[in-house]
Structure 1
Amino acid sequence: MKINFEKQGGLVPAIIQDASTAKVLMLGYMNEEAYLKTLEVGLVTFFSRSKNRLWTKGEESGNYLKLVDIAVDCDGDAFLVKAQPYGPTCHTGSDTCWNETNGARSIDFLYQLEAVVNQRKQAMNTELSYTAKLFKKGINKIAQKVGEEAVELVIEAKDDNKDLFINEAADLMFHTTVLLAAKGFSWDEVMQVLKDRHR
């Protein structure tokens, strides 16, 4: 069904729902331009009534909402937007704008990490973090670090020190996240391959 932007003065309410947990995260408003930008860039974008301009959720905090699906209600005057949240949705730091816990699993932190890594990539010329410095050294150095961490994980697997083994596994996951970002890929793409293999 086609959305009717004129019905409510050009602004349409958009209910944002976590695509994985189905938890309602927030309510925002979209005009036609915000709707088209959301579709174009894949990040949920609103029309901010207080700023009187388009506003991509997370543009300052890094807590983006990655678009998964968007549906129009039966009257053609409201959106249901399913998204993958990168970090807390509310500006207060809460998972939702109703101060509810989203119930994300620990594995979902990987998406938050991915968002931070991508921020460091964008700011590598001004950022002083380890991640930004790694991006500046280029793809060969990043790939080398992944190889080093993989070897260190294998070495720790031969011993019985749980803490060292888990820490090396974390190092490998982190550096793999950096490598994916450097190549312009995401964990979603890796997960899709795993899902496809599982069928």
Structure 2
Amino acid sequence: MEKIINNINFNEKGLVPVVVQDVTTEKVLMLAYMNEEAIKKTLNERVAHYYSRSRQKLWKKGETSGNMQKVKGFAYDCDGDSILLTVDQIGVACHTGNYSCFFKKVLKENEKEKHILKKLYTLIQDRKDNPKEGSYTNYLFEKGLDKILKKVGEESSEVIIGAKNKNKDEMIYEISDLIYHLLVLMVNEKVSIEEIKKELLRREKVKSIRE
């Protein structure tokens, strides 16, 4: 612990800025400050503690709101004058009620491209909740699980054929079809994208332990 503290370059007020990032979404949640005591409590308890410059006191994130941050990673930069904290965010990070404090955007990333899978999942969920006449997605839901599974099997076979044909364009097309039908299956069986992400993260963690 003392070695870590000695490697941190605190400013003249004994503080160091902390960038907080969601371990699952990788979104930056907030910027806060820590003093030596906050660092020690954070590392010992694995729950984020910060130093409030306005109140001039130590505070535990979520102590009153319930929006606590379970610490998953702690790193400092090459100069030791800033910290990156990766957390499992419970609830929202911002006191305004927003998920992240950085919601006032000037230049926006292309959300349509970045979150295309989530957007497609949401659209499929909406088709299930609000059926639309003539919708192929609703046709699958109406036919039920067996039909959906049949389509997943068919599309899997098409991917295999595309791969055997060494046809990249065909593979891209068929993989896209397969992903769509898998999302339909997920919605039908109430499996969320977040649950898949968590399982993949769990496997990554197990792999790192084994290695």
After TM superposition, the score normalised by the length of structure 2 is: 0.50
Q: Please, which of 176, 189, 195 is the counterpart of residue 195 of structure 2? A: 189
Q: Please, which of 163, 168, 172 is the counterpart of residue 169 of structure 2? A: 163
Q: Residue 176 of structure 1 corresponds to which residue in structure 2?
A: 182
Q: Residue 119 of structure 1 corresponds to which residue in structure 2?
A: 126
Q: Residue 115 of structure 2 corresponds to which residue in structure 1?
A: 108
Equivalent position SS for 2:91: strand
Confirm or deny: 8 A CA contact 1:117 1:131 kept in the other structure. Answer: yes
Relative to structure 1, is the Cα distance of residues 102 and 166 closer, same or farther in structure 2, using a 3 angstrom cutoff? same
Give the share of equivalent positions with the same residue, in percent.
Answer: 31
Q: Please, which of 79, 83, 99 is the counterpart of residue 81 of structure 1? A: 99
Confirm or deny: 8 A CA contact 1:123 1:132 kept in the other structure. Answer: no
Confirm or deny: 8 A CA contact 1:71 1:79 kept in the other structure. Answer: yes
Confirm or deny: 8 A CA contact 1:142 1:175 kept in the other structure. Answer: yes
Relative to structure 1, is the Cα distance of residues 97 and 137 closer, same or farther in structure 2, using a 3 angstrom cutoff? farther
- Give me the whole-angstrom Cα distance separating, in 2, the residues matched to 1:197 and 1:181: 23
Equivalent position SS for 1:112: helix
- Give me the whole-angstrom Cα distance separating, in 2, the residues matched to 1:146 and 1:114: 16
- Give me the whole-angstrom Cα distance separating, in 1, the residues matched to 2:112 and 2:203: 22
Equivalent position SS for 1:127: coil
Confirm or deny: 8 A CA contact 1:21 1:102 kept in the other structure. Answer: no
Query: Computing the radius of gyration over CA atoms, which structure comes out larger, 1 or 2?
Result: 2
- Give me the whole-angstrom Cα distance separating, in 1, the residues matched to 2:121 and 2:200: 18
Root-mean-square deviation (Å) = 3.2
Relative to structure 1, is the Cα distance of residues 99 and 138 closer, same or farther in structure 2, using a 3 angstrom cutoff? farther
Q: Please, which of 136, 139, 149 is the counterpart of residue 142 of structure 2? A: 136
Equivalent position SS for 1:185: coil
- Superposed CA deviations along residues 43-81 of structure 1, whole A, max 9, x for unmatched, are xxxxxxxxxxxxxxxxxxxxxxxx9731464xxxx3342
**Aligned residue type for 1:118:** Q
Confirm or deny: 8 A CA contact 2:94 2:100 kept in the other structure. Answer: no
Unaligned runs of 5+ in 1: 1-17, 25-38, 40-66, 84-95
By how many angstroms is 1:186 displaced?
A: 1.2
- Superposed CA deviations along residues 99-134 of structure 1, whole A, max 9, x for unmatched, are 63235594621000000000111123x432111111
**Aligned residue type for 2:172:** I
Give the ranges of 4+ consecutive aligned residues of structure 1 lying more than 4 Å apart after TM superposition: 96-99, 103-107
Confirm or deny: 8 A CA contact 2:29 2:99 kept in the other structure. Answer: no
**Aligned residue type for 2:184:** V
By how many angstroms is 1:179 displaced?
A: 0.2
